[in-house]
Amino acid sequence: QMVEDIRKVTQQYRQQSSNQRGHALIVSLPTAEVEEAAQQAIAAGVPVFGMNTGYDRAQELGLLTFVAMDEFKAGQAAGQEILRMTTDDDMMANTSLTAGDSLGKLQNTTKVLYINHEWGNFALEQRRNGLEDVLEETSASKNASFEVVELVISDSTGEGITEATLSQSLEGCPYHAIVSGQHIGQSVVEAIQSACGDGDEEKHVIKGVFDTSEFVYRAIAVGDVDFAISQQHWLQSSVTAAMASLFASSTGMHLQYSVESNSGTYLSGPEVLTLQSGAVGGDTVVKQKDKVPFPTDTQQTCEEQAFPICTVGSEENNAERIVDGDDECPCFDRRKLTIAVVSHGTETEDFWVGMRSAAQQAALDMNVELDWELFSHSESNQALHNKMASQMISKCQSGVDGMVVSIPSEVVELAIRTCVELNIPTISINANSNNLSQKLGLLHHVAQDEFNAGEVAGRRLIEAGGTRGLCINHAPGVGSTFDRCAGFRKALESAEAEFVGEVEVLIDNTDITKTRVEDFVNENANGDWTSLGMLSMGQALIPTLRQLANDHPEAVAGTFDTSTELGQALEANEVLFGIDQQPFLQGYSPILVLTLFAQTKQALGNHYLLSGPSLVLEAASPSEEQCKAEVYPVCLPPVEIEENKLGNLRILGYILGSVIVALSLVFAVIVFLYRLRPNIRQSQPFFLLMICLGGALMGSTIFPLAIDDDICEGNGCDSACMSAPWLFTLGFTFVFAALYSKLMRLNQLMKNAASFKHIQVTVADVLMPFTLQLTLNLAFLTTWTAADPMFYSRVEVSSTESYGICRLGDGGVSIAMAALIFSVNLLALIVALWEAYKARKVTYELSDGGSVTMVVVSIFQVAVVGVPILPLTRDDPQASFLLKTGLVFVISLSSLLFIFVPVFKKKGLANRAQAAVALSSRVNTINHPSGMFKNSSGPYDESASQFMSRTELETMSPREAKCSQVSEIGIVEESAEFSPQEGNAIEVSSFLARLVVLLRDGVLGRKDVMDAMEQVTTSGIIDEESSTTLIDSAGSRAKTSLKEVAGFIQTRKLTEDLGEYVDSRKDTPNHDIVVGVLHEYDVLPQKDPVTEADCGNEVLEDDPDDEERLVSSDDKVHLT
C-alpha cells in the first residue's frame, strides 16, 4: 500500500499542475521496495521528507530531511543505563568500591537478555547491536564480562505466546538484565516477575524496554520496569510535518543534514527515562532538555492524546476540558507563551530585519507572543554586546517562557548562564562564539555550519580558477565570521592555494571599504589581482564586491548571504555564488522548537539545527525575489469563527412556513368550491377567504426570518429584514379584521334580533374597522421602509465569534413606526377580545362565535407568553429564530384550525334543534313584555313583535313576499291591540313559523323540526291554565299565521310524520294544544306555494338523513 501511495503522488507530480498536487511528501522507509518508490518520486521532483524507519539510507536516496531515533545509539543508551544502574547498585551495597571495582565484582560472565519481537526488523536489530557494542567495549576495558543473549519472538501480538516462550527461557533467571526490543504488555512483566522476582535483594534483575506507552510509564512508576528508551514519537512526526510545511511555504527552504550523526538524521531519540533521574542523556554535559523529570500522570495522558492545544476562541470549553481527572489532557494554551529574542543584529541590517520578520511569522503560526527589538547601530561591538547582556538578564528575570540569543562574544556568557539557572529554555542562533551554546547546555544552536560553509566557498572559488584567497570581514571578533574565514583558509590550504589574509572593513561606507581592500591587496599581494578569490562575509558587502570585480576583472568573487543585489551580480557575472544560510529558517525554527518544548518537554537530540550552507548559483526569479523580500508571506491559518448562522434550522423554518401557506391555500380552495353549502355560506365565505389570505401572509413571514448572510449579502439581507414586518403585519391585519368583523356582525345581529327588528348586516357594514386598521398599518410600514428601514448587521462578540441580526434603522423613525404598528395591532387585539367577551353567551352554532373567540384568546395568550421573551434571545440568532418561527407558526395555525375545522365538520348543525329553541327562547324571554309563552296582563306590544305590518307587506313585490328569507309569520293590522291570550297564541305560531323558516332555508331537516316540537310539548313552556282557551282567544290573526305554518308543513310533506310524532307523545304537557293547532290547519292547502322557479333556488338531493334543504344563493343574512 505504501508503494502504491507513493507512486500515486509521483504520477500526480508528473501530470497535474502545482495547485492540484501535494507540496511535499513524508515517508518512512521500512523496505527496499518503499525505498525504490521514494527514489522514483524524488527523481520526478517530489520534495520528500522522512521519519522513523530508514534514516540510514535517507541522505543517500536524496530525502531533504529525516527525523528519527538512531536505533544503534538507542541500543548504546540502553547498555550505558544498565552499566550505570549496575554501578549504582554495587556501590550502594559497598560505598568503598569505585565504579570500576563494582563492575569487577560481577562474577563470571554476566548475561543480558535481549527480547526481539520481530525477526528481520532493522530497528530491533540495530538496538541489539548498539547494546552489544557498549557491553563488549566495557568487557574489554573493565574487569568484567558481558554476554547478550537474544530471544526472538516472531509474533509480537500474541499475549499467550509471549508468556509461554518467556516462561521457558527465564527458568532459573540466569540474567543480570532483561531488555525488551519494543514496548511490552502485562503478560511479559508477569513472566519476568514470576521467574526473576525481587525477593532476593542481592539478585535484582535490571529491566528495560524500548519505546513508551501508558503501561510502560505505569510499570516504571511501580518498579516493574527500571528504565525505558523513548524515541519521542510525537516530536518525531510533528517536527517532520513542520519542516515539510516550511519547505512548501518558503520556496524550498529546509534544514540541512546534521553533522552530529553519521546518517545526518535529526534525532528524536534516544531519551532514557527512569523514575529516579528523569530523562538522562549519555553526555557528561547537563543539557537543558536532560533536566526534564519523569512525566507526571497528566503529561503521560497528554502524550497519549498527542498534546492537544487550545483552539482559538474556545476558552470556556478549554477550561473545562478535564472531565474525569485523568481521562482527558488539559489543552495547552499557546497564547500564554512569551518568547524573547536578543541578538547582535541591528535595525539597519536587512539580514536581521528579515530574520525578525521570519520569527514574527513563526509566532503568528504558533499563536505565541514574540518580544524582539533590534538595537540601533552601536559605536562599538563591545558596547553592543554589553547592551545584549543587560537585556538578556532583564527578559529572563521577567519570566519569559523561552529565550533566543545570538552569542557574538563571551561578553554575553554570564547573562546566558543566568537564564539557564532560571530554567528558561534557551536556543542560540547565528553567532556562537567559542561554541558557548553547547558548553552552556542550551537546547539548540540554529545556524549554518560556518566552518563548513567557509570550506564550501573555498572549494567553489578554486573550481572557478582561484589560486589565492582573500577574506573580507565586516564583523571581526564575531565567532561566525571567524569560523567562515577559518573554513575558507582550510579549503585553500587543502588545495595548496595561498591564503592572502583577512581584511577588516566597515559596512556602512562602500568607498572606504573598497579603498581598504585595495590597499590590503597592494600591501600583502603586491597589487596582484590575478586569480585572486575574494570572499565577503555578508550581504552588506555585495555592493563593494561588485565594484571590486568590475575594477579588477582578473579576480573572482563570492559572498555569504543573499539579497536582491546578489541576483543582479550573478546575472552580470560579477559574482560567482552566494552562500545562503537561510535566515528565514534561523528566525523561524527557534520559535517553533521552543513552542513545542514548552508544550511537550520534548526536544531533538541534536544540538545543531543547520539552516545552511546552501549554494546559490543563479539569480532568483522576480516572484521568488519578491517572496524573499516580503519574508515569504503565507496566508493566515484559517481560524474557526463561530458565526452562529442558522444552518439546518433554516430547513425547519421553510417546512413550517410551507405548511401554513399550503394549509391556507387548501382552505381557500375548499371555501371557494363549496361556497353555496350551508355550513360555508352561513360562516360568510368572504371572511373565510380573508382569514386564508392573512394566514398565508403570516406564514410567509417565516421565510425572510430564515434568511441570513449565509445565503444572501448586502441589500438582499436588508430586504429580507424589512419584508418580515410587512408580511406579518398585513397577515395579522387580514386575519384579525375578519375575526373581529365576524364577532361585531354577530353581536349586531343579536342586539337587533333581541329587539325584534328586521335588519340586514352586510359585509360592507363591518369592513370599516378593517379598512381603518389596514390603512394605518400601510401608512406606518411605508414610512418606515422609505425613511428608516431595517438592515442586516453582523455583531462581533469576540475575534472568533459573531452573530447576524436584523436591526432597526439608525434614526428615530424606525423605532416610532414599529411602536405605532405594535400599538395599532394591540388595540385591534383588545377590541377583538371585547367583542369575543360580548358574544360569550351566544349558543347559536351558525354564529361561529366560539371558534372566533378561541382564536382571539389563543393568539392573545401566545403573544403574552412569547413577546416578552424575544429581547432575551436577541444575541442568539438560532434561539431567536426558533422563538419567532414558533410564534408565527402557532398564531397562524390556530387562526386557521380554530375557524375552519368546526366549519368543515358541520353537515347542518350539531344539536341544531336545541340551537333553534335556545335562540327563540333567548329572544322572546328578554324582549316579550308578557314572558315566554305565558299569560300576562297588558296589551301586546307590536313594536316588539316579529310580525310585519300590512303596509310593509304591501310594499314588497310578490316574489319578495314569497321568497324572502324573513318569515311572513303573520299579517297584522296597523295600530292593532291584542290581549295577553292573543299574544301567547301568536307566540306559539311564531315559534312554529321560525322552525319552518329554518326548514325552508335548509338549515333544519324534518327530524330537527320534530325534535324542536318535542322540546316545546315536554318542557311546559305553554301555561296549562290557558291551554283550553288558547285557540279560541288567539284571534283571527293568530289563526291566519298558524294556517300558513300548517300549509307550509303540508307542502313539505311533513304532515304524516308530524302526526305520528305528536301521537306518540300523548302524555306530554300541552299535547292537546299542539294537536289542536295542527289538526285545525294542516288539511288546508297552501295558497300559491313557493317554487324553485319563483325563487331561483336549488333543491338539493336528499342526504343520508333524508333532509331536504333549500339553499339560497343570496349572500345576505336576515334575522328577525
For residue 812, what pLDDT is reported?
84
For residue 958, what pLDDT is reported?
42
Q: In which band, very low, low, confident or very high, does the pLDDT at 1013 lie, cut at 50, 70 and 90?
A: low
For residue 1059, what pLDDT is reported?
53
CB 468 within 8 A of CB 584: no
For residues 1030-1059, give the mean pLDDT: 45
Q: Mean pLDDT: which of 181-195, 216-230, 613-627, 934-948 is highest?
A: 216-230
Of the two residues 834 and 402, the one the predictor is more confident about is 402
Q: In which band, very low, low, confident or very high, does the pLDDT at 676 lie, cut at 50, 70 and 90?
A: confident
CB atoms within 10 A of CB 766: 21
pLDDT of 1060-1102, one tens digit each?
A: 545 555 555 445 545 554 444 333 233 344 443 443 333 333 3
Chain mean pLDDT for the chain: 76
Cα(202)–Cα(465) distance, rounded to whole angstroms? Answer: 72
Q: How many CA atoms lie within 13 A of 988 on its CB side?
A: 36
For residues 42-69, give the mean pLDDT: 92
pLDDT at residue 109 tops 80: no
Cα(230)–Cα(295) distance, rounded to whole angstroms? Answer: 12
Q: In which band, very low, low, confident or very high, does the pLDDT at 943 lie, cut at 50, 70 and 90?
A: very low
pLDDT of 778-799, one tens digit each?
A: 999 999 999 989 989 888 887 6
Determine if the peptide bond prior to 330 is cis (ω within 30°): no
Q: Which residues of 782-805 are buried (b: 16+ CB within 10 A; e: fewer)?
A: eebbeebbbbbeeeeeeebebbbb
Is 748 strand, coil or helix?
helix
Lowest model confidence (mean pLDDT) among 103-117, 567-581, 654-668, 724-738: 103-117
Residue 668, CA distances (Å) to 691, 696, 893, 896, 1041 in order: 9, 10, 14, 10, 43
For residue 1048, what pLDDT is reported?
46
Is 473 strand, coil or helix?
strand
For residues 816-820, give the mean pLDDT: 91
For residue 634, what pLDDT is reported?
67
pTM: 0.58
Q: Mean pLDDT: which of 536-550, 754-768, 1020-1034, 1103-1117 is highest?
A: 536-550
For residues 425-429, give the mean pLDDT: 96
Strands (E), 474-582: 498-504, 532-536, 556-560, 578-580
pLDDT of 131-143, one tens digit each?
A: 999 988 887 766 6
For residue 473, what pLDDT is reported?
94
pLDDT at residue 973 tops 50: no
CB 69 within 8 A of CB 124: no
For residue 1007, what pLDDT is reported?
59
pLDDT at residue 429 tops 90: yes
> What is the residue-wise DSSP string for 34-49?
HHHHHHHHHHTT--EE
> What is the residue-wise DSSP string for 45-69?
T--EEEESS-HHHHHHHT-S-EEEE
pLDDT at residue 179 tops 70: yes
Cα(471)–Cα(533) distance, rounded to whole angstroms? Answer: 9
Cα(279)–Cα(789) distance, rounded to whole angstroms? Answer: 69
Q: In which band, very low, low, confident or very high, does the pLDDT at 844 lie, cut at 50, 70 and 90?
A: very low
pLDDT of 363-386, one tens digit each?
A: 998 999 999 999 987 668 889 999
pLDDT of 465-488, one tens digit each?
A: 999 999 999 988 777 889 999 999
* H/E stretch holding 999: helix 980-1000
Is 426 strand, coil or helix?
strand
For residue 428, what pLDDT is reported?
96
Lowest model confidence (mean pLDDT) among 356-360, 800-804, 891-895: 800-804
Q: In which band, very low, low, confident or very high, does the pLDDT at 198 lie, cut at 50, 70 and 90?
A: low
Of the two residues 833 and 448, the one the predictor is more confident about is 448
Q: In which band, very low, low, confident or very high, does the pLDDT at 999 lie, cut at 50, 70 and 90?
A: low
pLDDT of 257-293, one tens digit each?
A: 988 888 889 999 899 988 875 544 444 456 777 777 8
For residue 471, what pLDDT is reported?
96
For residue 763, what pLDDT is reported?
63
Cα(1028)–Cα(1031) distance, rounded to whole angstroms? Answer: 7
Residue with cell 377580545: 833
For residue 333, what pLDDT is reported?
93
Cα dihedral 266, 272, 273, 276 sign: negative
For residues 655-683, give the mean pLDDT: 86
For residue 1028, what pLDDT is reported?
38
Cα(482)–Cα(1108) distance, rounded to whole angstroms? Answer: 122
Give the largest CA-CA distance in the chain. Answer: 165
For residue 608, what pLDDT is reported?
93
For residue 835, what pLDDT is reported?
76
Q: Is 148 left (phi over 0), alpha (psi -120 to 50) or beta?
A: beta
Residue with cell 516493574: 224
Cell of 646: 442558522
Of the two residues 761 and 347, the one the predictor is more confident about is 347
What whole-number percentage of the chain has pLDDT above 70?
A: 69
Lowest model confidence (mean pLDDT) among 221-225, 260-264, 318-322: 318-322
Cα(113)–Cα(925) distance, rounded to whole angstroms? Answer: 116
> What is the residue-wise DSSP string for 701-738?
THHHHT--TTT--THHHHHHHHHHHHHHHHHHHHHHHH
β-bridge partners, 368: none
Q: In which band, very low, low, confident or very high, does the pLDDT at 937 lie, cut at 50, 70 and 90?
A: very low
pLDDT at residue 22 tops 60: yes
Of the two residues 629 and 969, the one the predictor is more confident about is 629
What whole-number percentage of the chain has pLDDT above 90?
A: 34
For residue 832, what pLDDT is reported?
75
pLDDT of 559-575, one tens digit each?
A: 998 888 898 999 999 99
Residue 596, CA distances (Å) to 236, 265, 271, 401, 490 in order: 11, 19, 16, 11, 38
